[in-house]
Structure 1
Amino acid sequence: MNNFKRIFSFIIPYKKYAYLNIFFNVLYALFSTLSFMSLIPMMQVLFDQTKRNSIEPKYTGIWEFKTFAEDYLSYYITTTTDTYGVGHTLSIMVAVIISIFLLKNLSDYLALFFITFLRNGILRDMRNAMYKKTIDLPLAFFSEKRKGDVIARISADVNEVQTSFLSILELAVKEPLTIVFTIIAMLTISVKLTLFVFIFIPVSGYVISLIGKQLKKQSTKAQEEQGIFLSTIEETLGGLKVVKGYNSEAYFNRIFTESTERFFKLSNNIGNRQNLASPMSEFMGIMIIAILLWYGGSMVLLEKTLNGAAFIAYMGLAYNILTPAKSISKASYSVKRGNAAAERVLEILDQQNPIVSKENAIQKETFDSSIAINNINFKYEDEIVLKDFSLQIKKGQTVALVGQSGSGKSTIANLLTRFYDVHDGTIAIDNTNIKDMNLQSLRGLMGLVTQDSILFNDTIKANIALGKQDATDDEIIEALKIANAYEFVKDLPKGIYTNIGDSGNKLSGGQKQRLSIARAVLKNPPIMILDEATSALDTESEKFVQVALENMMQNRTSIVIAHRLSTIQKADLIVVMQKGKIVEQGKHEALIALNGMYNKLVSMQSFE
């Protein structure tokens, strides 16, 4: 119930549908009970058991309402039969019964009609909230989580909450009210018989509850397993070239089939427990009906304390309890499964995001003087990456960071953009700590071109316009020209409206990287971060991309993280890093003259 309370906030926007659903469920429960009660007078007329009463009764108060209703009904049947005949009386009764059943089913339909809006609205809002939370969370969160598991939570688990967990809404109103109204009707027919029945109901309830005890635990395992095999699909499709290139299809197929086998066994256990709920509750119900037939039959035939028509209606009412009781037992198992899904959904929604804008954060639209990195320390979990690192970058400078893999170069880019936060020290832009700046305005000052060209399954225009959604076609073409990309884009069938496929797989590596540069050019930020932007390219593509980069870096402050040292010889400042510290810095010629680490790196690449 605690999870349901937390999900309840998603119900509030749709409360009018919830109220309408409750209203029509109340009517359904009422007409469901009346449909059986209306059979009593008809059967009394059929079997000529109606008590004759030609004197119209007088209403004397609520406590005498049952007696008044019985007397008035017998008065109406007596007078109508005497005046128009028994056939006419039966016709009226049949018409009343049909009307009650029509109203019962109409109420059921309208209750389901309104709850559909509520269920689907919650499904939409939860998915939107999950997706928004997912893209707001820092990169560190996804280094620990499988992407497939997050996808499973947004798709399958949210759907499970909608279909299973929200059955509480039906459970809380429709079925219990049907049972309550039915029991009231049964008590009006025979208190003695009803009390006798209710000695056995708790016993059957206890037997049914034993079935569902392990359901939540198994449901959680099944949902986790679903996350694992979705992850395997996502990773396999992302790395299909490697899978095929290393003849690893059998290995990945084994991993996937092992996961689906575990899911198969868990699903069977869950399904079989759920499937047992309905026949078990029905069997227990029939046991109660059998006891009723024995005890009630003796009241009709031996004790003569109950008439036959009332007993038949009573049996109908007793059976009327079975359907909602079965629904409640099935729904209670669904709730257990939905509860497991709700926990996984809420785990994402409850994640604290440490990298957010402060209250009243500074909105900074321009870059005026310098970036100051002062005595920063940073580590990924237990691995120290930067130690007491300091660097000044002046406006208009091109600063290159070089060094061996793992020296901390890319970490600088991650910290400047606040993908991660420093543990000690400060990073300031124009003497303003970036933690005091609005996160969107900080990232608005920066353009980012990464080693892997991250493109989306959309048109060239849509991919380039990410940083400037209202860009015109002319602005996009100009950005493509600066990025040295228009020469191949203009030859495509639909030009800038050509779809480039999943991750841009219809293009070559050099073409994809030039589109990434065009995206940064269109954004036109004052600070440009190039994270090994040419390291994944062949020599010919690198020349095209290098020209594009030089065009882009004009009149900008650029931080270049370089693997290929030939690309950064014109930099204003080259910073040589080793194990998270600066070991050398200066211009290309001065560092070569030092004959130190930089010269060694250049010599190694020249030799290569």
Structure 2
Amino acid sequence: MNNFKRIFSFLVPYKKYAYLNIFFNVLYALFSTLSFMSLIPMMQVLFDQTKRNTVEPVYTGLGGIKTFAENYISYFITNATDTYGVGYTLSVMVALIISIFLLKNLSDYLAMFFITFLRNGVLRDMRNAMYKKTIELPLAFFSEKRKGDVIARISADVNEVQSSFLSILELIVKEPLTIIFTIAAMLSISVDLTLFVFIFIPVSGYVISLIGKQLKRKSTEAQEEQGIFLSTIEETLGGLKVVKGYNSESYFNTIFSSSTQRFFKLSNSIGNRQNLASPTSEFMGIMVIAILLWYGGNMVLIEKTLNGASFIAYMGLAYNILTPAKSISKASYSVKRGNAAAERVLEILDQQNPITSKNGAIVKTSFEEAITIKNINFKYEDEIVLKDFSLNVKKGQTVALVGQSGSGKSTIANLLTRFYDVNDGSIAIDGENIKDFNLQSLRGLMGLVTQDSILFNDTIRANIALGKQNATDDEIIEALKIANAYEFVNELPLGINTNVGDSGNKLSGGQKQRLSIARAVLKNPPIMILDEATSALDTESEKFVQVALENMMQNRTSIVIAHRLSTIQKADTIIVMQKGRIVEQGTHEQLIALNGTYNKLVTLQSFE
């Protein structure tokens, strides 16, 4: 239950709804018991078994409340029957029963009415917290997790936790109180008969607990399997061209159907265990009622120690215990499922984010002097990527990083933006370690254009304005012109209000990349990082994008990670990397003259 205690923190904003739910559940339990107790005087009137009482009783305190109630009811029935006749008395009894049942059902509705606000509020807040945490976590976290699994936790697992709240409130308030009030009423009628009920409840609870064993483990497995097939869906839709192009539909169908088959088996196992609880508890209840009928029948017919009206009401009360007992057994299973889901939700919420702004972080709004990378080492898990790497980039310079794939070029971009933190050494801007900066202000200094031109399923305007939400249309159009994108955008039916489709799939690769550049231009940062911004483009698109990049880099400090060397010949400094180290550096002409690694790369690309 520790998981639920922690999840209960989401209840705090809705505690008034919880209190109202508890209040009406108490009333429901009370009226549920009274609805059966009210049958006794009515049946006594029907069978003319009412004890005559012409003296109005006097209330003497809680200790004698049972005697007072019995005497007052018999006095009222005697007086009403003598004055108005038995028909009037019967009508009053029926009206009383209807009123009690009405109040019982009204209380039940109001309890459910208020719990709805609580449940849906908790669902919303948990989803928001999960999403907020998800987008705050470092990139390293998602290199180890399936996207589909994270989606399953935010959707299905949060929903499972939310639905378990109702079960817990029933478990601790509504159903137990119904049982307690009912047993109190049963004790007031017959202590001997009630002893059978006390035997039934613990035996039933024990049997149900045996049925519920392993339910939490199987629920966890089912939720993990749901994450797997959601990941398969996400990956398949993302790579649909490859799937179709390689005629791999049957392969992915097999993967998906295997996952859903495992989920099918787990769901059957979980469902069958849950379904067994209700008939088991009901059967045990009927067994006890059968014994009560035999024993109570003796008390009524042979021993004459219990009147018939009280015995019929008692049997109704005994059966009244069965419904909450079944509900408790179902709720206990729901709690087990919710507990498994809560563990998966809390795993995300409790995830430590090592890349955050520390207390008293520097808020930096301008770049004045230089970026200094000093003796840094970095590795992804066990793979060493950068070794004793140092670099100084002065304001206004364009520095290019080149080298073979895996040499560590893109890692520099990831470290500058603090998507990852260095293992050793330091990165400083204007002499201040970037770890001392407020994270948002650090990234506010930088514009990032990557090889993958990432666009969202929204308008061109919304995609470009990500870095400047309050941008005017004129500012967006100016950014598009600098990015060499205004001409094709202007030809679209809705211009900047055109939706680009999922991942920008309505546009060509070159068009998408130019919109990514326009986004960086509109942000207008002093430092620009270009991570192989033209490597995925054809020659014609590359020319358009290259012009856009040159426009954007004017009067800025730029770090260009390049695969195509033709795009960086004008750089102030070219850094040649190999296996995480700098092997050469200088201008294009200086490096050609060295006739070393850079010259070999240029020669190879020329042949290509």
Range class of TM-score, shorter chain: over 0.9
Match of 1:105 in 2: 105
Q: 2:196, 2:288 within 8 Å by CA — same for their partners in 1?
A: no
Paired position in structure 1 for 2:51: 51
- Which letter does structure 2 place at the counterpart of 1:482? I
Matched letter for residue 135 of structure 1: I
Does structure 1 residue 249 correspond to structure 2 residue 249?
A: yes
Alignment partner, residue 282 of structure 2: 282
Aligned-partner Cα distance in 1 for 2:375–2:166: 53
Q: What is the distance in 2 between the residues matched to 1:185 and 1:268?
A: 40
1:5-28 per-residue CA deviation (whole Å, 9 max, x = no partner) reads 000100000000000000110110
Aligned AA for 2:116? T
Q: Where does residue 467 of structure 2 map in the other structure? A: 467
After TM superposition, the structure 1 = structure 2 runs for residues 90-239 of structure 1, keeping only pairs within 5 Å, are 90-239=90-239
Aligned to 2:597: 597
Shift in Å, 1:200: 3.0
Question: How far does the alpha carbon of each residue in 1:223-246 deviate from its partner, in whole angstroms, 9 at most, with x for none?
Answer: 000000000000000001111111
Question: 1:406-425 to 2 correspondence within 5 Å?
Answer: 406-425=406-425
C-alpha distance in 1 between matches for 2:97 and 2:31: 10
Taking the TM superposition and a 5 Å limit, the aligned residue runs for 1:69-84 are 69-84=69-84
- Please report how far the alpha carbon of residue 205 of structure 1 lies from its aligned counterpart in structure 2 after TM superposition: 1.9
How far residue 195 of structure 1 moved from its aligned partner, in angstroms, is 1.6
CA drift of 1:198 comes to 1.4
Moved over 2 A (4+): none
The equivalent of 2:376 in structure 1 is 376
Secondary structure of residue in 1 paired with 2:143: helix
Alpha-carbon distance between aligned partners in 1 of 2:257 and 2:61, rounded to the nearest angstrom:
72
1:341 paired with 2:336, answer no
**Aligned residues of 1:377 and 1:424 also touching (Cα < 8 A):** yes
What is the one-letter code of the residue matched to 1:558?
S
Distance, in Å, in 2 between the alignment partners of 1:199 and 1:149 is 45
What SS is found at the alignment partner of 1:377? strand
Task: Give the match for residue 527 of structure 2.
Answer: 527
Aligned-pair identity (%): 88
**Structure 2 counterpart of 1:83, one-letter code:** T
- Structure 1 residue 301 displacement after superposition: 1.1
**Unmatched runs of 5 consecutive residues or more in structure 1:** none
Quote the offset at 1:247 in angstroms: 1.1
1:404 equivalent to 2:404? Answer yes
**Deviations, residues 394-439 of structure 1 (Å, cap 9, x unaligned):** 0000000000000000000000000000000000000000000000
Aligned CA-pair RMSD: 0.7
Q: Distance in 2 between matches of 1:184 and 1:196?
A: 14
Cα deviation, residue 204, structure 1 = 2.1
Alignment partner, residue 559 of structure 1: 559
What TM-score results when the alignment is normalised by the length of structure 1?
A: 0.99
Report the more deviating stretch, 282-291 or 205-214: 205-214
TM-score of the superposition, structure 2-length normalised? Answer: 0.99
Unaligned runs of 5+ in 2: none
Aligned-residue offset at 1:199: 2.2
Please state whether the residue corresponding to 1:144 is helix, strand or coil.
Answer: coil
Cα deviation for residue 164 of structure 1 reads 2.6
1:42–1:93 CA contact under 8 A, matched in 2: yes
Is 1:518 the counterpart of 2:536? The answer is no
Query: For residue 368 of structure 1, what is the amino acid of its counterpart?
Result: E
Instruction: Say if 1:414 and 1:420, in contact at 8 Å, map to a contact too.
Output: yes
Per-residue Cα deviation, 1:207-229 (whole angstroms, up to 9, x for no partner): 12211111111000000000000
DSSP-derived class of the 1:232 partner: helix
Residue 479 (structure 2) aligns with: 479
Identify the range of structure 1 (287-296 vs 412-421) with the bigger mean alpha-carbon deviation: 287-296
- Counterpart of 2:359 in structure 1 is 359
In structure 1, what is the Cα distance between the partners aligned to 2:443 and 2:166?
40
Q: Write out aligned runs for 1:533-552 (5 A).
A: 533-552=533-552
Count of residue pairs brought into register by the alignment? 608
Check whether the contact 1:376–1:390 (CA below 8 A) recurs between aligned residues.
yes
Name 1:301's counterpart in structure 2.
Answer: 301
Query: Is the contact between residue 119 and residue 165 of structure 2 (CA under 8 Å) also seen in structure 1?
Result: no
- Tell me what 2:325 maps to: 325
Q: What secondary structure, in the 3-state scheme, does the structure 2 residue paired with 1:559 have?
A: strand
1:452 match: 452
Give the structure 2 partner of residue 61 of structure 1.
61
Shift of 1:166: 4.0
Give the Å deviation of 1:277.
1.1
- Any idea what SS the aligned residue of 2:302 has? helix
How far the C-alpha of 1:141 sits from its partner, in A, is 0.1
2:377 partner SS? strand
